[in-house]
Structure 1
Amino acid sequence: MNFRFNWKASFDFPYMGMFLPPVEQWQTFATSAEAAKDPWVRSPYKGAPTSRKQLEAYSKLMRGYGFHVLNYFNVTEFGTRVKGPEAVNKNIKEEDLWKNCTDFLYAKIADGILYNDNGSYYRTWGQAVVMDAGAKNYQNFLLEQAKRHIDYLPSSSGICIDRMDWLRYFNTRADDGISWYEGRPARSLFNSWKNLMDKIGPMMHDNDKVIFVNPMVSMRLDMMKQVDGIYSEHNEHGPGLNSSVFLGLCMPVCAWTWSESSLMPDPDYYMQRFLYLGVFPSAPVPDNNHEIRPGKFADTWYLKYGPLFKALNGRKWCLKPHAAAVVKNDAKANLFEVPGGYALAIVLADSNKTSTNIALNAKELGLSGKYSIDALLPGGESAVPVKSEMIKNTILLTVPLQSRCAVVRIRQ
């Protein structure tokens, strides 16, 4: 299926936000008792008691197999089944505060709580509370969590930050010196994000780690400054997919695939839409966190298209003018720059078409010297030859198709 990384979105931490608690590398920690009561946690996503040493060993093992691990991270939600300040244990020792999300929240990072106009805080999944990463104490906590990730999990390839949708809110108890909301100064959580990411970004990148994000509805270019890739749970839908694509012209874009039903009623169309846009769908993996899981039907289609997606690995949209054209307009095509050359995705050709003609602009693409051209077809065991002819500055291709689709590899 040619998948490359695993977003480790399992509940292998005590509660939301406390991803790496302040314990020794051999010391185990488990999902907190309160968190374990939540329906979202009482599922295959809940891991067994683990430790820093075990988490690092998993990332190292996956690297040995040729895969990368992105650990779960979240900057807008904290806790699980958080209670009110009246429930705080005032007799708890400082070193034990982290064990209870309610105690830790009010003792250490209460400045980050986002309140609504009625004076109540916003609730989110698992009865967590919504947080503002622009608050000093909470931001320092997040930076410490990022530092622990770098120090404790060197074999992990980075983090994927969930739930950017909360960034569209305003904190009316703070002032960023820019925002004005409902007739008064406020702090936009978009600005809080930019302030935080200008610190976390260099930390991660200086240690050869990447940052992926789940932007959801926060599709803004200025939010992507420190971001290396997009993994959005809204990429099955047209608006979310198109927005992610144009934010990710030059970085990986991955699509959340909910279940086998996502492939219906036309699995070829589902896969070819992503090929056309250079987007990578989630592969079926056991115990996927509200995503597609293995099964005979799903596996068949992912195995059919996996090699074609592999050909797009490292792709950037080719934005050169008139670089490629479908001669008879009988299919859709999109050209990508990939390491070592180009990849041309040809999809959704007219019914019953077994081939199509493509014109490549040799001058724009710098294809004046030696190059090789072949094609990968859905379900094919190996690449097939592509007939080509140079006519002045145009390379005319006759590309075979299978299931109305092919990915042409142009290698220099």
Structure 2
Amino acid sequence: MSHRHLQTPLDPATDAARLLRRIGFGTLALVLPIASLVSRRAAVVLAPIGVVLLIIAALIEEPATFVSTLKRALLSRPGMILVGLVGWAVLSLVWSPYTASATEKAGNLVLAVVLGICGMAALPERMRASNLNLAALGTGIAGAFALALVVIAALRHADTDAGVERGISVILIMAWPALAWLLSRERGLSAVGLALVVGLLALTRFEDGEAVAMICGAVAFGAVSANREAASTIIAAIIAVLILIAPLLPFLLMPIVSTFPQGAGEFTQTLAVWADVVSREPFKLITGHGLDTVLRGRMIGALPQPAPTTLLFEVWYELGIVGATAASACLYFAIRAAGRMPSALAAGGVAAFSTAFALSALGFATLQPWWLMTLAAVVLMFGAIARGQYRTDRPVAPLSLKPAGTSRPKAGGTAG
């Protein structure tokens, strides 16, 4: 009888967990970027489905590990700050004048945070390389498809479909974990090809600020690649400080912008409205006006139309100093944690945070449901890729317990 027939069959529960995990991660990494080009609600639907499948897999395989990991995440300092931020946003519904729409916005924020935390806790200690390859495959296919659609629209002298434009935004932010995975596996040619496609797509989105945001991400990627500890610390500090001093920005920028002869008229009006809001209601900077008051205020005329759409203004106007302080602390710790990830993941993680913050600062998709779900998926992809890297150390077993021919596990592992 051959040795193959003497092997113990795998536990059916383990097989089921691995299958569910592969489908769940594939939903996030492969299906989501492609489906985003054809459906405006792809991220809103697919992200929860993918995370739920990951959670079910974890409950089948290692429920105790899932619960303990979840507890550690919630009781950690960044976890408690994030929970505090979400709790303050929910509490602001009490004084928000637009309770119905604000409740929906708060629900989307809570859902995105729950999916992110629970999804990270559901990831196994080791992720298979075959699963992680789906990240690059999904982004690459979606990027090539999007580029083809843009070229066809240009040849027809037509505007690119709004759904395609939103899908391109998803592809751009999801490109960072895909590039990090390829570089960590030393697949330089594939990484260059994906970067070329993503770069061309970014150039088609210059007006909405996505090209500028991707440039910021690329600069962060290069800086972290050159000096991981110093660059990640500096970038985290810059982003945190920008959020904290946001009410001072209009007063600091207006003298500079006023020196420009032309082309800054609309921006000058925006800064003037921002400065007027800060000066007129300084006490509201403590608690904020409540969730969703910026968007609804602009719609009904409570805020002038030139009012800023940047996240820097929205956080302070809606959540006040409490929300701004919590948000800045969350981003600081998150970027520092990304900078401590192995190999190319550190550069990719900090670049993804820099890109997302730049987009939000430029007024792009601030806290919209599809954007929140996309960001949650990106965080999970980085977490999964970090668990699929080479292990540089492991417990040393006594010589008498080491079996002959023991070798280091291959990258990508076999658990996930």
User: Normalised by the shorter chain, which TM-score bucket?
Assistant: under 0.3
Give the structure with higher Rg (CA).
Answer: 1
TM norm structure 1: 0.25
- Which structure features the higher share of strand residues? 1
Higher RCO (CA-CA < 8 Å; seq separation 6+): 2
